[in-house]
């Protein structure tokens, strides 16, 4: 197996800042596509993984799973992409391909799915390294096509923030007239508002921050409810069909369950961990309400979303940064000071 040493940004331990590293990439196998990375979005999961918040990080960590780039090389068996194509890679780069989840386009629920970073590269017996790097080599079946009309930096966050909110909106059949709420206005939250609005839903934002109200309305929210204001929360009691909760840290879900309508579902996409305080069952039983979870989306569903974004001209609201600014960007993300996704211009790594 041929390999290549390339420049990347990452960390060797949970308590260290990210810095420039050299990593090894495999050469293209017959089914692989080599992509020169142009832009990479910055997801809160990148920060969680770099800092081992979830306890399963493998170091060195090179984050980044909102990747847009240009194909520079293809293996001899590649049929779906060609040199010069603008393509994208999201959160997964492989899966077992034979289980029921894989057969049903639900690769994200395959027990053998390989994350874009922190997974296992079976060819090199190394961790997979993500998009904070010069290039990436991915099997053609896990590479997406980018609609030609979309801004290349703005489309990057569709690959995680977009699909993570799109998948539950579709699964819970959100459409015209659905009453949808989104908890938290960050990367995922702002895409959830845009997508639910484009699907025809009536959209409410739950936020702790009153100063995000104008932005939320500009993004397509019909109203904003300040989640720390009990009176405002009582005003939407029993109201929503679907709530997409993007908050990254433990928080009380009971006030949100109270705002679900009969048969309504609160979908957790943000926080990974034990719920504290506990959920009270009575409001769930009395209204046949559900609390559920959802993980990113499959490859076909991600392509469906990219095509939907192309048709409706939807991209993320972004702030472009250089890779050298990534540690500062993480600090701002922890203060919920992102409007509404950082995207790294990866030429800054090449110039270094
Ligand atoms: P983000 O840009 O930092 O946004 C999170 C938002 O949540 C903030 O803007 C803030 O909104 C709110 N928030 C933050 N801390 C809070 C707290 N302690 N209590 C209440 N609200 C808080 O993050 P993101 O990139 O959207 O990611 C959100 C979460 O989703 C992360 O944990 C990430 O790991 C996870 N994620 C999950 C999946 C999946 O497949 N399930 C995929 C991608 C990401 P307000 O200021 O409006 O309150
Ligand atoms: Zn992500
Ligand atoms: Zn599988």
The residue nearest atom 36 of ligand 1, judged by CA position, is 270
Q: Measured from the CB, is residue 197 less than 6 Å from ligand 1?
A: no
Question: Dihedral sign, CA of 107, 113, 118, 123?
Answer: negative
Ligand 1: atom nearest CA of 333 is 3
Q: For a substitution probing ligand 1, which of 63, 161, 182, 246 has the most ligand atoms within 8 Å of its CB?
A: 246
Token pair 């990534």 is found at 326
C-alpha of residue 35 to centroid of ligand 1, in Å: 29
- For the chain, percent of residues with pLDDT exceeding 70: 100
Omega cis (within 30) before 187: no
The environment of the single-atom ion ligand 2, i.e. residues with CB closer than 5 A, is 43, 45, 160
Ligand 1: atom nearest CA of 271 is 32
Q: Measured from the CB, is residue 209 less than 6 Å from ligand 1?
A: yes
Reading the block at residue 97, the tokens are: 């391909």
Whether 107 contacts 65, CB under 8 Å: no
Q: Dmax over Cα atoms in the chain, in whole Å?
A: 63
What confidence score (pLDDT) does residue 239 get?
A: 98
For 126-138, what is each residue's pLDDT tens digit? 999 999 999 999 9
| CA-wise closest residue to 343 among 10, 38, 23 | 38
Residue 78 CB-density burial (10 A; 0-12 exposed, 13-18 middle, 19+ buried): buried
Ligand 1: atom nearest CA of 188 is 26
CA distance 11 to 336: 22
Q: Measured from the CB, is residue 44 less than 6 Å from ligand 1?
A: yes
User: In DSSP terms, which residues pair with 169 in a beta bridge?
Assistant: none
Q: Measured from the CB, is residue 41 less than 6 Å from ligand 1?
A: no
Ligand nearest the Cα atom of residue 245: 1
Confidence of residue 1 (pLDDT cuts 50, 70, 90): confident
For 6-19, what is each residue's pLDDT tens digit? 999 999 999 999 99
CA distance 9 to 131: 9
Contact partners, residue 139, CB within 8 Å, separation at least 6: 31, 32, 33, 93, 94
Q: How far does Cα 279 stand from its chain's mean position?
A: 26
Q: How far does Cα 168 stand from its chain's mean position?
A: 13
Residue 117 CB-density burial (10 A; 0-12 exposed, 13-18 middle, 19+ buried): buried
Ligand nearest the Cα atom of residue 159: 2
Q: Measured from the CB, is residue 226 less than 6 Å from ligand 1?
A: no
- Checking DSSP bridges between strand 120-121 and strand 126-127, what pairing results, if any? antiparallel
**Residue 352, pLDDT above cutoff 80:** no
Q: What are phi and psi of 169, to 5 degrees?
A: -60, -40
**How does the average pLDDT of the chain come out, rounded?**
97
Ligand nearest the Cα atom of residue 109: 3
For 176-224, what is each residue's pLDDT tens digit? 999 999 999 999 999 999 999 999 999 999 999 999 999 999 999 999 9
CA distance 210 to 18: 32
Contact partners, residue 342, CB within 8 Å, separation at least 6: 41, 42, 318, 319, 320, 321, 329, 332, 333
For 29-84, what is each residue's pLDDT tens digit? 999 999 999 999 999 999 999 999 999 999 999 999 999 999 999 999 999 999 99
Contact partners, residue 320, CB within 8 Å, separation at least 6: 153, 342, 343, 344, 345
- On the CB side of 269, how many CA atoms lie within 13 Å of its CA? 32
CA distance 23 to 167: 32
Q: Measured from the CB, is residue 45 less than 6 Å from ligand 1?
A: yes
- Predicted TM-score of the model (pTM): 0.98
Confidence of residue 351 (pLDDT cuts 50, 70, 90): confident
């Amino acid at each position: 197996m041929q390999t290549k040493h390339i420049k990347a940004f990452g960390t060797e331990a949970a308590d260290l800042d990210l810095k420039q590293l050299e990593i090894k990439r495999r050469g293209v196998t017959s089914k692989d596509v080599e992509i020169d990375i142009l832009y990479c979005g910055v997801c809160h999961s990148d920060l969680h993984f770099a800092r081992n918040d979830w306890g399963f990080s493998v170091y060195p960590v090179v984050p980044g799973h909102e990747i847009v780039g240009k194909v520079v090389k293809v293996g001899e068996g590649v049929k779906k992409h060609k040199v010069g194509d603008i393509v994208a890679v999201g959160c997964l780069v492989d899966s077992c391909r034979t289980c029921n989840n894989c057969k049903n386009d639900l690769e994200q629920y395959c027990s053998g799915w390989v994350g874009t970073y922190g997974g296992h590269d079976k060819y090199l017996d190394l961790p997979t390294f993500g998009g904070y790097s010069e290039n990436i080599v991915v099997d053609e079946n896990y590479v997406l096509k980018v609609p030609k009309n979309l801004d290349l930096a703005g489309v990057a966050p569709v690959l995680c923030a977009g699909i993570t909110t799109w998948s539950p909106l579709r699964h819970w059949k959100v459409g015209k007239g659905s009453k949808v709420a989104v908890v938290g206005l960050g990367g995922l939250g702002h895409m959830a508002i845009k997508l639910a609005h484009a699907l025809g839903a009536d959209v409410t934002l739950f936020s702790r921050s009153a100063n995000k109200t104008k932005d939320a309305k500009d993004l397509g929210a019909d109203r904003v409810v300040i989640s720390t204001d009990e009176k405002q929360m009582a005003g939407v009691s029993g109201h929503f069909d679907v709530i997409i909760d993007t908050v990254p840290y433990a928080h009380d879900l009971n006030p949100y369950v109270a705002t679900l309508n009969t048969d309504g579902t609160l979908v957790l996409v943000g926080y990974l961990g034990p719920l504290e305080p506990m959920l009270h069952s009575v409001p769930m039983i009395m209204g046949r309400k559900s609390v559920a979870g959802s993980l990113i989306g499959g490859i076909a569903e991600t392509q469906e979303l990219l095509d939907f974004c192309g048709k409706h001209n939807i991209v993320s609201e972004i702030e472009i940064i250089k890779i050298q600014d990534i540690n500062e960007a993480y600090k701002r993300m922890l203060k919920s000071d992102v409007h509404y996704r950082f995207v790294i211009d990866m030429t800054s790594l090449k110039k270094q």
